[in-house]
């Protein structure tokens, strides 16, 4: 998929999403994009040493070392070291499925596409272990229409308000079990088998609920050759539909994932 084809897909997706009533032609989204008339939302947190991360004895928090400085003291060159799955990042299919593509093998066609936002923030506020269900998806589709094939499904849990507090973000109990919402296994399987999604994303540490038994959503989605996006920022700024996602992960040869710069282009300015 060329860059031009990706932008053309954006134009067509936008036109389909906002076709005007009464047969009036929809705006040319490609022209609007080039003119700077469409709103673009950055869904990426800055990578730093003090952000929440998955607690693991083998995980390494972020380090950033200045190698050369300007006269002001600002770095002119630096080196960093971190886990692939740190900050706003992408889980490549190989992360939980041996034999599936690594991050460098994902194509622009895999990574650029329409997105929908499913909001379970009210349910998550009442029950931190909330898992998205097929019934939730049916209710969403009853209101907004079928989830498009090859969409990226983003789950808004409201966890982003905790980002600046690692303890609240992990929400671990006395036994160390974390409690935050995620995709239920049945919902994940429905999205893969019935809606042929590109991938899923979430605004917390994992697409699986923190207290899940294992990683069922990881196994289903990665097992089908699709990716996950975790620690996605600013989902509260996106509408349920009319979103086109630009997913740009670091291209590590053989990588199981990596930090990603993530942008949402909105069909409405």
The mean pLDDT of 90-98, rounded to a whole number, is 98
Domain extents in the chain: 40-54+78-266
pTM above 0.85, yes or no: yes
Q: What is the pLDDT of residues 164-183, one digit of tens each?
A: 999 999 999 999 999 999 99
Q: Is 50 exceeded by the pLDDT of residue 16? A: no
The whole-number pLDDT of residue 6 equals 55
Task: Name the catalytic one among 70, 85, 89, 95.
Answer: 95
Does 127 qualify as catalytic in the annotation? no
Of 12, 46, 44, 47, nearest to 31 by C-alpha is: 12
Q: What is the pLDDT of residues 137-169, one digit of tens each?
A: 999 999 999 999 999 999 999 999 999 999 999
Instruction: Decide which of 3.30.1180.20, 3.30.930.10, 3.50.30.50, 3.20.20.80 is the CATH code for 40-54+78-266.
Output: 3.50.30.50
Q: Look at 14-18, 88-92, 103-107, 134-138 and tell me which has the smallest mean pLDDT.
A: 14-18
Q: How far apart are the first and last CA of the chain?
A: 26
Q: Return d(Cα 246, Cα 121) in angstroms, integer.
A: 24
């Amino acid at each position: 998929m060329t860059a031009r084809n990706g932008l053309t897909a954006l134009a067509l997706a936008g036109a389909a999403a906002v076709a005007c009533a009464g047969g009036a032609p929809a705006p040319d989204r490609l022209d609007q994009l080039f003119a700077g008339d469409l709103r673009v939302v950055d869904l990426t947190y800055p990578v730093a040493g003090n952000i929440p991360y998955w607690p693991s004895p083998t995980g390494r928090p972020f380090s950033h070392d200045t190698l050369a400085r300007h006269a002001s003291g600002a770095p002119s060159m630096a080196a960093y070291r971190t886990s692939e799955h740190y900050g706003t990042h992408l889980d490549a299919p190989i992360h939980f499925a041996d034999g599936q593509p690594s991050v460098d093998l994902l194509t622009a066609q895999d990574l650029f596409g329409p997105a929908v936002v499913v909001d379970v923030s009210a349910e998550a506020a009442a029950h931190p272990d909330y898992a998205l269900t097929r019934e939730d998806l049916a209710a969403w589709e009853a209101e907004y229409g079928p989830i498009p094939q090859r969409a990226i499904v983003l789950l808004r849990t409201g966890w982003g308000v905790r980002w600046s507090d690692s303890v609240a973000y992990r929400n671990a109990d006395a036994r160390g079990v974390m409690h935050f919402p995620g995709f239920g296994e049945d919902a994940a399987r429905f999205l893969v088998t019935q809606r042929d999604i590109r991938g899923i994303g979430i605004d917390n540490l994992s697409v699986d609920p923190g207290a899940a038994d294992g990683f069922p959503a990881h196994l289903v989605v990665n097992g089908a050759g699709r990716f996950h996006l975790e620690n996605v920022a600013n989902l509260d700024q996106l509408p349920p539909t009319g979103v086109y996602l630009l997913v740009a992960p670091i291209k590590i040869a053989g990588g199981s994932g990596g930090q990603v710069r993530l942008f949402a282009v909105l069909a409405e300015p």
